[in-house]
C-alpha cells in the first residue's frame, strides 16, 4: 500500500510526518519525532514533501493530523491540509511568515532562540559589553526587520551598531567597517545571504586579530572560533513537535467550555525552542577573557585544547 493510500485510510490517532527534504537535520528531527509519538500512543507515517506531491497530495480529512519538518513542508501543509486538521511543525525559521501562527489547531517550535535569551548570555559572559555589532543586508525582506527586533531586545544602556553589507565593496570591507566602530561583541544569525563559509572564517580570524569576540548562531560556529553561542538540536525539535501534536490530539478528544474552546491558547500551541549553550575556551584564552564558572558549568558544549569538548 502506498504512503498516500495509507494516509487516506489513517485513523484519527495516526500522524503524517512530512519532511522538506532528506537533509540530515530533518532526518534527525524525524527519528526523534516518530519515537516520541509512538511512546505517546500515536502511529507516525513519514514521507518526503516531493514524494507526497508526486502521489497526489493529501487526503481530504478534517480529522487527519500532520507534522511539517522544515519550513517548506510546514508552509505547504499549512496551505493544503484540511482546515480542521491538527498540524504541528518543527525546524521552521519563521512560523509567522509560513502562515502557521494564524492557522487554528496548529502548534510547534521554531528554530530561533529568543533574542532576549541570547543577549542575557552575552551580558553574563561579557559584563562590560555595551555595544553590539551586526552585519545585515538591507535589500532582503528580513534584514531591516531584524535590526528593529534586536534594538528592542537589547538590555538597557546597550547600543547596536549595524553595518549594511551592500554599502561595501566586499565582505572583508564590511567586517572591517563593523570592527572600526569599537564594538564589544559581534552578534551573528543564521542568514545565508550574509554568512557563508568564507564569511564566517574571515569574521572569526579578523575578530581574534582585533580582540573582538563573536557570538555564534550554532555549535559548529563556536567550534570554528566564536567565543560562545547557542544552537538547536534537531532531535530536541522533533521531540517538542511530537509533544505539541500530542496536546493537539488530546485537545480534540475533550469537550471544553465555550470560552476555553475559543481561547488562542487552546487553538495554538507555539513554543520557543530548547537550545544548547556552547563555549570555546581556546578562543577565550586568546582574547584574555575569563568566562564565568556559572556559564561554563551549565554549558552543553565546551571546546578546549586538543579538540576535547564536553557535549
CA distance 113 to 74: 19
Confidence class for position 259, pLDDT limits 50, 70, 90: very low
Q: Percentage of residues in the chain with pLDDT exceeding 70?
A: 87
Residue 15 sits in the same domain as residue 98: yes
pLDDT at 4: 43
Beta strands in the chain (DSSP E): 14-19, 43-48, 65-69, 86-92, 106-110, 131-136, 159-164, 185-187, 214-216, 228-231, 268-271, 276-280, 301-303, 309-310
Residue 290 sits in the same domain as residue 172: yes
Cell numbers standing for residue 77:
501543509
CB atoms within 10 A of CB 52: 21
Total structural domains within the chain:
2
Of the listed ranges 4-13, 219-228, 243-252, the least confidently predicted one is 4-13
Q: Is the pLDDT of residue 129 over 50?
A: yes
Of the listed ranges 1-15, 198-212, 283-297, the least confidently predicted one is 1-15
Of the listed ranges 44-58, 92-106, 265-279, the least confidently predicted one is 265-279
CA distance 90 to 54: 23
Residue 68 sits in the same domain as residue 167: no
pLDDT at 265: 46
169: CB partners within 8 A, 6+ apart: none
Q: Is the pLDDT of residue 279 over 70?
A: yes
Cβ atoms of 42 and 14 within 8 Å: the answer is yes
Residue 155 sits in the same domain as residue 194: yes
Residue 122 sits in the same domain as residue 189: yes
Residue 166 sits in the same domain as residue 33: no
Residue 224 sits in the same domain as residue 80: no
Mean pLDDT of 127-135: 97
φ/ψ of residue 306, rounded to 5: 65, 25
Q: Tell me which of 260 and 301 has the higher pLDDT.
A: 301
Residue 227 sits in the same domain as residue 96: no
Residue 303 sits in the same domain as residue 196: yes
Mean pLDDT of 118-139: 96
Residue 207 sits in the same domain as residue 240: no
179: CB partners within 8 A, 6+ apart: 133, 186, 206, 207, 210, 212
- The CATH number linked to 24 is 3.40.50.2300
CA distance 71 to 89: 8
Which residue, 269, 299, 300, is CA-closest to 110? Answer: 269
CB atoms within 10 A of CB 144: 15
For residue 120, give its domain range: 115-231+275-310
Average pLDDT across the chain, whole number: 89
Confidence class for position 269, pLDDT limits 50, 70, 90: confident
Residue 76 sits in the same domain as residue 103: yes
Question: How far out from the chain centre does Cα 137 lie?
Answer: 20
pLDDT at 63: 72
Residue 180 sits in the same domain as residue 267: no
pLDDT at 136: 95
For strand 214-216 and strand 228-231, is the pairing parallel, antiparallel, or unpaired?
parallel
CB atoms within 10 A of CB 23: 14
CA distance 127 to 165: 28
Amino acid at each position: 500500500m502506498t504512503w498516500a493510500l495509507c494516509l487516506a485510510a489513517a485513523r484519527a490517532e495516526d500522524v503524517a510526518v512530512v519532511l522538506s527534504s532528506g537533509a540530515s537535520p530533518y532526518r534527525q528531527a524525524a527519528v526523534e519525532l516518530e519515537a516520541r509519538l509512538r511512546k505517546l500512543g500515536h502511529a507516525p507515517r513519514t514521507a518526503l514533501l516531493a514524494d507526497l506531491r508526486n502521489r497526489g497530495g493529501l487526503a481530504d480529512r478534517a480529522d487527519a493530523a500532520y507534522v511539517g519538518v522544515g519550513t517548506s513542508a510546514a508552509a505547504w501543509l499549512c496551505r493544503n491540509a484540511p482546515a480542521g486538521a491538527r498540524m504541528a511543525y518543527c525546524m521552521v525559521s519563521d512560523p509567522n511568515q509560513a502562515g502557521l501562527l494564524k492557522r487554528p489547531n496548529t502548534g510547534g517550535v521554531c528554530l530561533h532562540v529568543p533574542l532576549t535569551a541570547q543577549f542575557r548570555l552575552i551580558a553574563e559572559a561579557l559584563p562590560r559589553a555595551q555595544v553590539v555589532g551586526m552585519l545585515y543586508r538591507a535589500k532582503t525582506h528580513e534584514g531591516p526587520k531584524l535590526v528593529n527586533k534586536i534594538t528592542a531586545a537589547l538590555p538597557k544602556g546597550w547600543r547596536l551598531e549595524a553595518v549594511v553589507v551592500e554599502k561595501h565593496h566586499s565582505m572583508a570591507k564590511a567586517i572591517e567597517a563593523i570592527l572600526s566602530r569599537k564594538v564589544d561583541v559581534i552578534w551573528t544569525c543564521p542568514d545565508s545571504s550574509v554568512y557563508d563559509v568564507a564569511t564566517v572564517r574571515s569574521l572569526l580570524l579578523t575578530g581574534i586579530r582585533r580582540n573582538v569576540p563573536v557570538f555564534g548562531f550554532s555549535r559548529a560556529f563556536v567550534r570554528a572560533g566564536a567565543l560562545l553561542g547557542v544552537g538547536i538540536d534537531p532531535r530536541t525539535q522533533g521531540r517538542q513537535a511530537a509533544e505539541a501534536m500530542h496536546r493537539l490530539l488530546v485537545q480534540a478528544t475533550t469537550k471544553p467550555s465555550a470560552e476555553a474552546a475559543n481561547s488562542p491558547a487552546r487553538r495554538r500551541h507555539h513554543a520557543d525552542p530548547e537550545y544548547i549553550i556552547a563555549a570555546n575556551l581556546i578562543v577565550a584564552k586568546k582574547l584574555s577573557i575569563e568566562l564565568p564558572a556559572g556559564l561554563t558549568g551549565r554549558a552543553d558544549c565546551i571546546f578546549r585544547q586538543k579538540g576535547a569538548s564536553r557535549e
